[in-house]
Each structure stands twice: as structure tokens, then as C-alpha cells.
Amino acid sequence: MTMDIKKIEQIVNTKLSDEQKQYAILCIIADDKNVIPTILAILDRERKQREELILDSNHELSRALVVLKDKNLKWNKKCIADPSWVVGEIIKHYKKWSHLIRCNFKIDGLD
């Protein structure tokens, strides 16, 4: 049996409470033989996207850390934040999440 979308539409348009609508809709979804594989596929896509986002974010954060640690980068009063302070915050971030991410570059304090 496949999901009965028309039945779901009818439930949505009733005067039932939201809780009753939710239960009725979930019962219809549960009757669909493909619901588990569909949900697993959705979760797999979401996990892969999150993993890619974490990897990309880690790469960019690693790059920012290397640039901010460059001794040629000079801080002045017009800068929004002292680069050494930002470096310290990034290092704290890497230490906090060390069980999930690592800096892509060899950085003192992150060995």
C-alpha cells in the first residue's frame, strides 16, 4: 500500500485538533510500505550533506587560522578584532571539538 495523499489532505482540512491531525497523518504514513526506506534515504542524504558542510567549514576555519597566525599580519585600532585573540578562539574551538574535527595544518597548540 502506498501513502494516501488525498486522505492526508482531507485530514489537514478537518476541524480536528493539531494533535489529532498529526496522529491521523502518521497512521497513514505508517501504512506506506516504502516509508522506512524513504525515511532512511532522507536521513542518509541529510547526514552526507552535514558531513560535507563540516569538512568544508573545517577547511575554511583551518585556512583562516593559518592566515591569522601569520607574523606579517599587523593589528591596528581600525581592525575589528585582534588577530591573536581570534586565533585563540579558533584554537579553543578545535580543542572543544577535537573528537570530531582537526585543523588541516600543523599549528602550535593543536598538536
What is the arithmetic mean of pLDDT over 23-35? Answer: 94
pTM of the model: 0.68
- 10 pLDDT more than 90: yes
Q: What percent of the chain is predicted at pLDDT more than 90?
A: 77
pLDDT at 7: 95
pLDDT at 67: 93
Does residue 80 sit in helix, strand or coil? coil
Query: Which three three-digit cell numbers place residue 41?
Result: 534515504
> At 5, which helix (H) or strand (E)?
helix 5-12
Domain residue ranges in the chain: 34-96
- Where helices occur in 13-105 by DSSP H, the ranges are 18-31, 35-69, 83-96
Biggest alpha carbon–alpha carbon distance for the chain: 68
pLDDT band, residue 32 (cuts 50/70/90):
very high
Position 85: which residue type?
W
- 82 pLDDT more than 90: no
pLDDT at 23: 97
- Where helices occur in 70-78 by DSSP H, the ranges are none
Q: What is the DSSP secondary structure assignment for residue 99, as one 8-state letter?
A: T
